[in-house]
Structure 1
Amino acid sequence: MKKQRIPKRIVGRLELVDFPELQLWGVEAKVDTGAYTSAIHCSDIHVVTDSNQQPLLRVLLLDPSHPHFDGTPMEFSEFSLRDIKSSNGEVQQRYVIQAVLRIFEQDLYTEFSLSDRSDMKYPVLLGRRLMRQGNFVVDVARRNLSHKAQVAAKASRA
């Protein structure tokens, strides 16, 4: 039996993505085919315990320069601590969460490592695992294809 092929979708090297469950919209993301796991910028990462003595990961996502930053800590009850290889080849222990990322009006539930990306230009990095999950290919000469498709779809509905 022949396997049915799902058409691939083209993403640019940069995309504007949403995190609906986190109430974050239009976050700049860089597609990085060298990274396996996606990453999101955060600071003040620490584990606290809730009233039932269960661990909670508390972080500040993004930073004050982002338009949707409000300084409210986010808490995650489901998280793990893993070894992640950084861009310079160094292995770091990072917390990893599951989150919904919206791109091309498609919601993808995927993993994000939490790291301080304040010295990086883009707060979100989209790795190979997400590219494979969404059946995306990257055109490095293009950018914001998801956002442009969303704007065009809204215009055609009007």
Structure 2
Amino acid sequence: MSKKLDIIGRNIMIDIIGHIKGVPAKVDTGADSSAIWASNITVNKEGALQFTLFAEGSKYYTGEVIKRKAFRAAAVRSSNGHEQIRYRVEMPVKIAERRLRVGFYLSDRTLNDFPILLGRRLLNKKFLVDVSVKEYRPKPKEKRGIYEEMIKDPYAFHKKYYQNDK
């Protein structure tokens, strides 16, 4: 007999327990793992990973420095084939009234509509995804006129949009 799974939509509001409530997350059945927007990512002299969730300018940014002794590093390949090293931490979250520990890769999600991405490893055997359900609708982005911006100042354009590995 199979266990009844909670049904969630293609995006959902989640709580990062102990840090912030009501953060929009994109549910992505095509992504293997989950990711969360982090900034100021460093490893201190004691070997602890330090980071802040989100970044200045985000309405979810609190400036709180989070430290983790337990973390991992992995080479992560994006859908366009670009590979970079990312740190992975576990965070307690609340999704659809369920409390879970989720492994998140820390990444810069500045240009993404959603600051959190929920992948298959989290969803598997816990949730069914109904793509007709939306809990959160992101504000439409302003049309950037990206070509015009590049022509105007190619150097500034490159600094703004091109993501180099660090």
TM-score, normalised to structure 1's length? 0.80
Matched residue, 1:141:
132
Q: What whole-Å deviation, never above 9, does each CA across 1:56-91 have from its counterpart, x for those lacking one?
A: 111121123443422122111111111112132222
Matched residue, 1:19:
16
- Count of residues paired in the alignment: 136
Matched residue, 1:102:
94
Matched residue, 2:67:
75
Question: Structure 1 residue 41 and structure 2 residue 37: aligned?
Answer: yes
Matched residue, 2:51:
59
- Inter-partner Cα distance in structure 2 for 1:82 and 1:112: 12
SS in 1 for 2:35: strand
- Inter-partner Cα distance in structure 2 for 1:113 and 1:67: 21
Q: Give runs of ≥4 in structure 1 deviating > 6 Å.
A: none
SS in 2 for 1:55: coil
Which of the pair has the greater relative contact order for Cα pairs under 8 Å at 6+ separation? 1
Matched residue, 1:28:
24
Gaps (5+ residues) in structure 1? 146-158
Which shifted more, 79-88 or 65-74? 65-74
Identity %: 36
Which is strand-richer, 1 or 2? 1
TM-score, normalised to structure 2's length? 0.76
Return the letter of the residue paired with 2:63.
G
SS in 2 for 1:83: strand
